[in-house]
Each structure stands twice: as C-alpha cells, then as structure tokens.
Chain A
Amino acid sequence: MKTRKQSAGLLGGVSHVMLVLWTILTVTPILYTFLNSFKTNTEIFGDSPLALPQQWGWGAWGRAWETSRIGEYLVNTVIVVAFSTFFTMLLGSMAAYVLSRYDFRGNRLIYTLFVAGLSIPPFLALSALYKVVDNVGLLGTHTGVVLVYVAYSMPFTVFFLAAFFKTLPTTVAEAAMMDGCGHARTFFQIMLPMAKPGLISITIFNVIGQWNQYLLPIALLPGDKQDKWLITQGIANISTSAGYEADWAGLFAALSMAIIPILIVYVIFQRQIQTGLTAGVGK
C-alpha cells in the first residue's frame, strides 16, 4: 500500500511539472507582449530581452492608439459582429425550427442543402464570392460582410439548432396552438425561450467565430477601404506596415489592445465559452 502511494506521489509530481510547463508555454507569449509594450527598442533587442521593463510608461499605448487605428477597427468589428450574429441567430433559428418541426414537401432537400455547407471549405468559392458581392454592389461595405457572415454561419447554426428543437417536448407548443396561439407567436413566445440553452451556446460559437474571421474580411474589405477594416485585418497589417518598423513597443501595445478585451470577456464567461465552442463536437 505504501509503495503504491509513493509511486503515485512521484507520478503526481511529474504530472504537475508537465501541467506547469504547459501553463508557462501558454502564458509566456501573451505576457511577453504586454511587457514589451512598456519597453524601449534597446530593451527589446538587448542582451536580456526577458527582463522586466525599466520604466513603466504608457507612451507606446498612446502612439499605438493614434497610429494603428486599433480603436476604429474594434468599433467596426463590434458593429459587424453584433449585426451578423443577431441575424444569424434569428434567421438560423427560424429555418431550424420550421425544418425540425413541420412536415412538408422539400423539407429534407432544404435541410440537406443547409447542412451540406458544413463540408465545403470557404476557399472553393473565394473568387466567385468576390464576384457575387461585387455584382450586388456590396464590395467594401459592412453590409456585404454581414450578409456573407450570416450565409457562412447558416450550415452549422441550422444543423445544431434543428437537432436542439427536436429534443424539446412538443406538448407545450401543441397546447398553445389549441388555445389559438398562431404559428409565429408559438415560435417566438414559447419555443425560443425553451431553446435558450442551445441558443446561448450557438450565439457564443458564432460571436467568437465571426470575431476571429480573417479570410472573409481581407477578401471583401480591400486595402483602399481601410476605414472599414476589421480587427484581424488591422492586426495582420500592423505587423508589416511601415509605420512600425522603428516602433516595436507600439506594435506590442496595439497587439495588447486587441488581446485585452478578449481576455476580459473570456475570464468572465469562460464556462459558457468552453461549452459553446465545444458544443458542436460534443455529441
């Protein structure tokens, strides 16, 4: 008995070392970004790049705010993601509800059309999408990006919510219909509140997915529309743009500004975020 306990102790020790190592591996790049935003170029490229900054000043943060336009990109992204997630959820749940609860000719076909989108990588239609958005005159506009985000989020949203609506009991809705409640009212006032857990998971999934989207913004919001850019575009650009060649602290400050809001939201909602993001794979 004693030997088993000892070997468990040793194994426990090794496991803790591994866990702590991976924690360091995860945290260091992010921590290093914050620290470097307070350093001078000589400190960053000097002999002890891992040392703490000698002076804690917010100078680089001010410069980054002015030159990198991070604030502007953040506002753009908040607007785009707010609209696109709202419409994704509204339209996605409407379609999913009808497809999961009503029997009609073509149901199977429409459902398959939505779900087939899950297996198509977004790169196939890159050129054609550019043409389509250009044809309807929405290239370089947030409206165009919102519509494309909604369309690209449909397959997973419909797939997940249709499965979710199927798990809900039918009796409440039937009783409401008996009492003269219309189809649409039954949906908005009875079914949607009942589906809240599923809706929350998929909302989180879509917010994070659309917030982090990179391919679609760089395809649909070209370089001459810099005032329309989204945060991921801005971040990718600052690492290469000329204004930063001499100002590394500014680059790290701008990067920190992009990370901090996400970090705060994550710390507050980490449980919901973890459930939301793994929801698709879970069962």
Chain B
Amino acid sequence: MRRGRLTPGAVRKWGFIASFLAAPLAIYIIFFVSPNLQALQLALTNSRGISPDFQYVGLENFTRLFEDDVFWAAVRHHGLILLVMPLVTIAIALFFSFLLNLGGGQKNGQLSGVWGSSFYKVVFFFPQVLAVVIVGVLFQAVLNPQKSGILNSVLGWFGIDPVGWLIKPDLALWTIIGVMVWQGVGFYVVLFSAGMAGVPKEIFEAAALDGANRLTLFFKITLPLVWNTVQVGWVYLGIAAFDAFALVQVLSIDRGGPDNATTVLPLEIFRQTFTYYRFGYASAMGVALVFLVLTFAALTLRVTRRERIEY
C-alpha cells in the first residue's frame, strides 16, 4: 500500500484519519486557535465590547500600555512572585520529600521515610485538590485583620498585636505569596517523592554505608539525582507566577488592592475586558503577558540545561 495510491485500503485509511481528526480539530480551532489569533488582531484595534465597529489603531494600545502605571505595578508583582514563590515552595517541598522518603534512617539495611510518611503525603497534597477560589475564601477568614482572625488569634497567644495581613500595602502581596506556597507545597512533595522513588535505592544505601550523614545524603546525592524533576517543577511554578488570577481576585482587598498593591496582569486583563469592555486594550495586555511567559520559559530552558545524570 504505497502512499498516494487510491486502493480501497488507502481510501479507508484516509477516511478513518479524516473522521477521527475532524471533530477534535474543529472544536479546537473554533474555540481555542481562532480566539487566540483574533486576540492578536484585536490588540491592534480600539475594539470595545462585542460591537463590530472598530478601527485599527496600530500600536497605540501598546504605547498606552507602557505608560500605564498599573501595568508596570502588575509586572513588578509578577517579578516578586517569580523570585520568591517557586524558590520557597521548592525548598520546603524538597525538605519534606527527603524526610518522607529517605529521612527515616536505615531499617533492615534499607533506607525508608520517617514514621507516618504516607499519612503526611495524603494530608499535604489535599490543598492542591481544592479550587483556588475555595482557598481564597478560606484564607479570608484565616487572615481576617481583627483579633478574631484565626492567624491573629494564634499570634495573640504570644502577645503579638493583630496584623492587617491583606490591608497593609507592603505586606499584602507577601501574604498572597504565602497562600500560594501553602497550596503548592504538597503537590511538589508528591512530585519530588516520585522523582526520589525513581532513583535506585542502592545509591542512597551505598552512600549511607560509606558514612554519609543526612546533609551529605541530601545535598550531594539526592539533590543532583532529582535535579531534572526540580527543574520541571521550577518551570511549572514560574508559569503559575504569571497567573495568580483567582487567588488575587478572591482574596485581596478591592480585587488587586489595597491601591493596586497586589494586582497581576491576568486580573487587569479581566478588568479591562469585563468592567470597561476595552477588548482591544485587554488583548494588547494579553500579548504582553504571553511575551513575558514565553521569555521566562525560554530563559529557563537556556539557563538550566544541564547534563543529565545517568543511572
């Protein structure tokens, strides 16, 4: 059955391929590809709402964007989230996954996790299953600025005055980052645990037999061996740092406040679209966001590319 020959078998094969691809491709093109292409077009127009009348304005949306203080505030916030959130999440998750998989010392000549490991893995992962919106509403109560807020009442036991976690402009974004870490750690504990499980136990056991202590075991053996998984985790968390939409929208004061202190680009895009109906300007902001995300991904791939350890 050579290619291009119209034997009955070839016709059947082509018919099969076409029938299997038609529906998925049609839905994907109509509802995903075309909106994204139209967004690139809208970004060059003064389109407002669903009205079909609009003019092309060239790069005017982008010049306005670069003079927009809120846009730059949002970009700075992504920068801070990107610097802090992935690093803290990965550090905590690595620490816990090490304890849960290899921290229990040797039993019958085999390295194992600390007592209760599987219980901790189940509990730590749970926030990941909750919708970000639910997490946001949960933390509204936890971070309530009054002394009856749960975090503030715990601090009260130690004689610390109530803190306005979300109402202080200098603190609010850090609080949001804290909640992102809270939700994310469990996922990376499980992910890194899978990475550690993939490394032959003999490597760890040989090192332990040679007298390596836990610090050496962690930094010299475990970390290099799961480095690939850590990298992948970093890319995922980095991309998450350019989102944060649902959490900021639900949890922060005045949706991105106080006074734009926590706003992020997705939130501004949403606001421009559904509050002001500036579809053209919102799409230009979307283009800027894609540019930032792709730049981050490309830089990460360049910087972190490293020899893979074969085992």
Contact surface of A with B, Cβ cutoff 8 Å: 4, 7-8, 11-12, 15-16, 18-19, 22-23, 25-30, 32-33, 36, 44-46, 48-50, 91-92, 94-95, 97-99, 102, 104, 110, 113-114, 117, 119-121, 123-134, 136, 147-148, 150-152, 154-155, 158, 182-184, 187, 208, 211-212, 214-215, 219, 231-232, 235-236, 238-239, 252, 255, 258-259, 262-263, 266-267, 270, 273-274, 277-278, 281-282
Contact = CB atoms under 8 A, between A and B. Distances in A.
B30 A278 contact: no
Given A12-B114, A154-B24, A124 B129 contact: no
A26 B266 contact: no
Interface of B: 12-14, 16-17, 19-21, 23-25, 27-28, 30-36, 38-39, 42, 47, 50, 92, 95-96, 99-100, 103-105, 114-116, 120-134, 136-142, 146, 148-150, 153-154, 182, 185-187, 190-191, 194, 213-214, 229, 232-233, 236, 239, 242-243, 245-246, 249-250, 265-266, 269-270, 273-274, 279-280, 282-283, 286-287, 289-290, 293-294, 297
Nearest to A212: B131
28 contacts: A12-B103, A12-B104, A12-B114, A18-B96, A19-B100, A19-B120, A27-B123, A29-B139, A30-B126, A32-B141, A44-B148, A45-B146, A50-B153, A94-B23, A97-B20, A124-B290, A125-B38, A128-B279, A132-B38, A208-B129, A212-B132, A215-B266, A215-B270, A239-B136, A239-B137, A270-B125, A273-B129, A281-B236
Contact of A236 (B13, B239, B250): B250
A68 to B, nearest CB: 12
Contacts of A184: 16, 19-20
A155 B125 CA distance: 25
Contacts of B13: 102, 183
Most chain A CB inside 10 Å of its own CB: which residue of B32, B154, B214, B270? B32
Q: Which among A92, A124, A129, A148 has the highest number of chain B CB atoms within 10 Å?
A: A124
Nearest to B38: A128
B34 A132 contact: yes
B39 A127 contact: yes
B126 A26 contact: yes
B294 to A, nearest CB: 6
Given A123-B286, A154-B27, A117 B153 contact: no
Contact of B32 (A32, A130, A152): A152
Contact of B194 (A33, A50, A183, A278): A278
Contact of B27 (A23, A48, A151): A151
Given A29-B142, A121-B266, A151-B27, A127 B273 contact: yes
Contact of B122 (A114, A148, A262, A270): A270
Contacts of B130: 212, 259, 262
Contacts of A104: 14, 17
Q: Which 5 A-B pairs have the closest CB atoms?
A: A151-B31, A124-B286, A125-B35, A127-B279, A212-B131
A115 to B, nearest CB: 11
A123 B150 contact: no
A98 B99 CA distance: 44
Contacts of B128: 277
Contact of B287 (A32, A114, A124): A124
Contact of A126 (B14, B96, B185, B273): B273
A22 B185 contact: yes
Contacts of A238: 137
B35 A121 contact: no
Contacts of B153: 48-50
B28 A114 contact: yes
A214 B290 contact: no
A120 to B, nearest CB: 6
Given A214-B246, A215-B245, A236-B136, A126 B286 contact: yes
Nearest to A274: B190
Given A44-B148, A121-B242, 13 more contacts: A18-B99, A19-B96, A26-B186, A95-B25, A104-B14, A120-B290, A123-B270, A124-B36, A127-B279, A134-B50, A150-B27, A155-B32, A267-B122
A25 B182 contact: yes
B20 A278 contact: no
Contact of A18 (B95, B131, B138): B95
A161 B289 CA distance: 29
Contact of B190 (A32, A123, A232, A278): A278
A119 B250 contact: no
